[in-house]
């Protein structure tokens, strides 16, 4: 056999091997590449006018870059000997005994009606109406620090503080945020003077144009969860004790995900003309174990939700001891507001290759 023929055969075999390798890599890439989520739908909308009290469930809500209108614009603090202590469900489970509803009155004033339904009281109730946009010029200034992010606020008049104090059985104050906002402290969103221009440049379609501001919400304007993942949690509980999605404190519940925990990889979800940018997981605490009927730590399986999730949901390197459920979301859109409605389509337009890392200093 001539040297020329051997050379030609060698080149053919080498070429075939290279072609097979290219095909193999292409197939492998298709297998490992995250698939796009199919079209989802908004199935539930929740607004929390007073942080940590029970939510108001709505069929539509005005969405803004700071969250839904009226969401977490009030919060409660306990009066203690050396000052004030922020109140949250994890440490004050009896906050779940306060139900809320938003009412647009005929005089044009919007109020949040707060109904206190104390467990063991024979379902006796007591209701207070709080104006959602009180006149701040007549209110006493008040400073609040949440998760290392302080803001100026306003102390509500004594009639409101006295009502809540009587219900709780100890002295508390109700404060209103007004037009003030808190700084976002996620390390990947905080801008320095030198980085401010770079932050305007989109990166993989998921950049946020400017350092965002937030209300009394913990870490972001929106918290988004998947109903498929809620069903997964319910499957871990007794059949007659399905998981109450409001224990996860979501703003938006999306239905239609094929698999539980698909949201771990969501980077951007489009609703109408607005993109919700998701760069961080929501890590969970003992608040999801609270029995909302009694206002006390739950008993039985419903009081073990945190432990059940710790078995396989500690998937965030930035908060390795806390299970993850849901995604924090920030607004990106040309418009400053848009109405979101139950039934609206929500499309995952960007998926992260890897899970994101929780990086708010001092949390997790």
Residue 292 pLDDT exceeds 50: yes
Looking at residues 287-309, what average pLDDT do you find? 95
What's residue 139's pLDDT? 97
Q: Per residue in 116-147, pLDDT tens?
A: 998 876 667 899 999 999 999 999 999 999 99
What is the length of the chain? 364
> pLDDT grade, residue 364 (50/70/90)?
confident
What's residue 32's pLDDT? 41
- CA 268 to CA 113: how far, in whole Å? 34
Q: How far is CA 110 from the centre of its chain?
A: 25
Half-sphere exposure of 280 (CA within 13 A, CB side): 25
Q: Residue 130 corresponds to which tokens in the numbers above?
A: 């709080």
Looking at residues 231-256, what average pLDDT do you find? 97
What's residue 145's pLDDT? 97
Looking at residues 172-188, what average pLDDT do you find? 97
What's residue 221's pLDDT? 98
> pLDDT grade, residue 106 (50/70/90)?
confident
Residue 34 pLDDT exceeds 60: no
Looking at residues 194-204, what average pLDDT do you find? 42
- Supply the mean pLDDT for the chain: 88
- CA 324 to CA 313: how far, in whole Å? 6
- CA 229 to CA 137: how far, in whole Å? 45
Q: Per residue in 209-233, pLDDT tens?
A: 567 899 999 999 999 999 999 999 9
Share of the chain above pLDDT 70, in %: 83
Looking at residues 275-292, what average pLDDT do you find? 97
Sorted by sequence, the CB contacts under 8 Å of residue 30 that are 6+ apart come out as none
What's residue 122's pLDDT? 67
Residue 27 pLDDT exceeds 70: no
- Pick the range with the lowest mean pLDDT from 25-39, 85-99, 192-206, 305-319: 192-206
Question: What pTM does this model have?
Answer: 0.86
What's residue 228's pLDDT? 98
Q: Per residue in 255-264, pLDDT tens?
A: 999 999 999 9
Domain positions in the chain: 40-351
- CA 196 to CA 191: how far, in whole Å? 6
> What number of other Cβ atoms are within 10 A of residue 73's Cβ?
26
Q: Per residue in 339-355, pLDDT tens?
A: 999 999 999 999 999 99
Q: Per residue in 72-87, pLDDT tens?
A: 999 999 999 999 999 9
* Cβ 121 vs Cβ 293: under 8 Å: no
What's residue 204's pLDDT? 45
For the purposes of burial, counting CB atoms within 10 Å of the CB of 36, is it exposed (0-12), middle (13-18) or buried (19 or more)? Answer: exposed
- CA 361 to CA 165: how far, in whole Å? 32
What's residue 208's pLDDT? 60
Sorted by sequence, the CB contacts under 8 Å of residue 13 that are 6+ apart come out as none
What's residue 118's pLDDT? 82
* Cβ 186 vs Cβ 219: under 8 Å: yes
Residue 31 pLDDT exceeds 60: no
What's residue 6's pLDDT? 41
């Amino acid at each position: 056999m001539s040297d020329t023929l051997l050379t030609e055969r060698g080149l053919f075999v080498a070429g075939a091997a290279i072609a097979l390798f290219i095909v193999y890599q292409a197939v492998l890439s298709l297998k490992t590449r995250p698939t796009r989520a199919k079209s989802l739908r908004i199935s539930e909308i929740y607004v929390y006018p007073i942080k940590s009290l029970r939510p108001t469930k709505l069929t539509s809500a005005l969405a803004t870059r700071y969250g839904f209108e009226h969401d977490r614009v009030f919060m409660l603090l306990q009066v203690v000997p050396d000052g004030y202590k922020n109140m949250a469900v994890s440490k004050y489970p009896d906050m779940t005994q306060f139900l809320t509803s938003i009412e647009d009155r005929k005089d044009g004033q919007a109020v949040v009606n707060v109904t206190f339904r104390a467990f063991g009281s024979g379902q006796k109730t007591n209701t207070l109406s709080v104006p959602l946009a009180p006149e701040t010029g007549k209110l006493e200034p008040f400073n609040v620090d949440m998760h290392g992010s302080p803001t100026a606020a306003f102390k509500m008049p004594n009639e409101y503080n006295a009502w809540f104090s009587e219900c709780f059985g100890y002295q508390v104050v109700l404060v209103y945020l007004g037009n003030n906002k808190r700084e976002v402290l996620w390390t990947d969103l905080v801008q320095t003077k030198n980085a401010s221009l770079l932050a305007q440049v989109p990166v993989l379609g998921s950049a946020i144009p400017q350092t965002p501001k937030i209300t009394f919400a913990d870490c972001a304007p929106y918290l988004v969860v998947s109903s498929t993942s809620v069903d997964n949690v319910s499957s871990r509980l007794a059949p007659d004790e399905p998981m109450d999605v409001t224990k996860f404190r979501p703003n938006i519940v999306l239905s239609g995900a094929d698999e539980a925990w698909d949201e771990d990889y969501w980077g951007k979800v489009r609703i109408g003309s607005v993109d919700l940018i998701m760069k961080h997981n929501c890590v969970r605490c003992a608040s999801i174990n609270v029995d909302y009927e009694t206002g006390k730590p739950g008993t039985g399986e419903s009081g073990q939700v945190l432990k059940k999730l710790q078995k396989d949901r500690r998937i965030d390197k930035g908060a390795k001891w806390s299970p993850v459920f849901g995604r924090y979301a920030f607004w990106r859109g040309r418009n400053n507001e848009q109405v979101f409605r139950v039934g609206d389509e929500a499309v995952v337009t960007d998926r992260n290759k890897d899970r994101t890392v929780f990086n708010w200093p001092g949390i997790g």
